[in-house]
Amino acid sequence: MANAQDPGGLLATLDALLPDLESLYTDLHAHPELSMQETRTAAIAADRLRAAGYEVTTGIGKTGVVGLLRNRDGPTVMLRADMDALPVKELTGLPYASTVTATDAEGRNVPVMHACGHDMHVAWLAGAATLFGRARTAWRGTLLTVFQPAEEIATGAQAMIDDGLFTRFPRPDVVLGQHVMVGAAGVLGWRAGVMTSAGDSLQIRLFGRGAHGSMPQASIDPVVMAAATVLRLQTIVSRELAASEAAVVTVGALQAGTKENVIPDEALIKLNVRTFDEGVRTRVLAAIERIVKAEAAASGAPRPPEITPLDRYGAVVNDAEATRRVVEAFHRSFPAERVQEVAPTSASEDFGCFGAQWHVPAVFWFVGGTDPESYRNARAAGRLGELPTNHNPRFAPVLHPTLRTGVEAAVSAAMGWLAP
């Protein structure tokens, strides 16, 4: 049973709708699609919006979908859900687990899984959109529902913006979004200010001179160069930032060579940076460039390294006044213990593009998706770090109460502006 109070009667039919939303969620989970390939998911979202009476526009930013529901004079609220999945092989053991494979942007055949909960996000927004369409006497204004592609590669929000999102649709008074995360299911996490970190991914190509493994004197070994670079990069956070400054520098890939007795010509490093402050971000990226170039020079590299940005996420910064309004709406709808202030997270999101570039307030919050008993037990044992996180092949939100909570939260937050 729900604990939420019904904002304006909008949730009166949620109990009857939940079985349909559960079927939608399990179907989406079993049929994940990679970034910019979300054609099936987008078609389902568009069909749901049309059935609820929305004006629907498809193909925005390639696969994005926008639904517009005008309901008398009043504010405009944008609700956003991302749709894409990850190249991860699912190991949840669920009866609706994905067995899908697909061809990625580099032409490789990869397994695909909704390892970040975007299937849940789509189900939440589909449910909220349906409820707003059914109960138009309970609210007034305009609802803009955005189903966004390619969040996982940090291009989807910008692609929709570049394809005319800001010129083809009404400017919202507020942009709202939510994300399922590790945490007790049914609990909402909020904060004003920085909610998620900025994220920068880089590819570094180091150049050496190949030789026979028995004749290293004839080489400039890019493997040693890369190893020294990786070790030196670890000193950025530990030795160049103050204890009060937060950053993460992670090397996720180091690739060089094909045979044990052949010293290769090149080595490739891929790394990821997370920061919460723009000044810290600038310093960390400059330090990476300095270290990479210095290690190459120290090795006598025949040419300077190539440093190529892969993707860039801006920090998600919640507007203070709009956050206050959302939290007040949550407190009207949920018991106090289910509405909790949280610390910023080092995860990153491209949701911030919408508010920052549209110059409107935005609020982003978290919804716990972990079985509450499992979460309590892990916390009591000091083993929260062992729970499967987003992007883990065993990550899967518990269906209930996660599904209901996300729908209720989206409706409640939007009603902070749309209530008559």
Q: Could you tell me which residues are annotated as the binding site for Mn(2+)?
A: 116, 118, 152, 179, 391
* The pair of three-digit structure tokens given for residue 354, joined into one six-digit string: 């919408």
Two tokens, residue 216: 């290293």
Euclidean distance between CA atoms 363 and 191, whole angstroms? 9
Torsion of CA 78, 192, 404, 346, to 10 degrees: 100
| Residue 337 in tokens | 């213990």
Distance CA 46, CA 42 (A): 6
Report angle CA 352, 354, 358 to the nearest 5 degrees: 125
- Listing DSSP states for 373-415 in one string gives HHHHHHHHTT-GGGSPPTTSTT----HHHHHHHHHHHHHHHHH
Asked if 388 contacts 394 with a C-beta cutoff of 8 angstroms, the reply is yes
Q: Which amino acid is at 205?
A: R
**Alpha-carbon torsion 407, 411, 414, 416, what sign?**
negative
CA angle at 188 for the pair 78 and 148, rounded to the nearest 5°: 35
Report the run of H or E that residue 39 belongs to, with start and end. helix 39-51
Spatial separation of the C-alpha atoms in residues 297 and 350, rounded to whole Å: 36
Encoded tokens for 339: 């509405």
Give me the count of residues in the chain: 420
d(CA 300, CA 208): 8
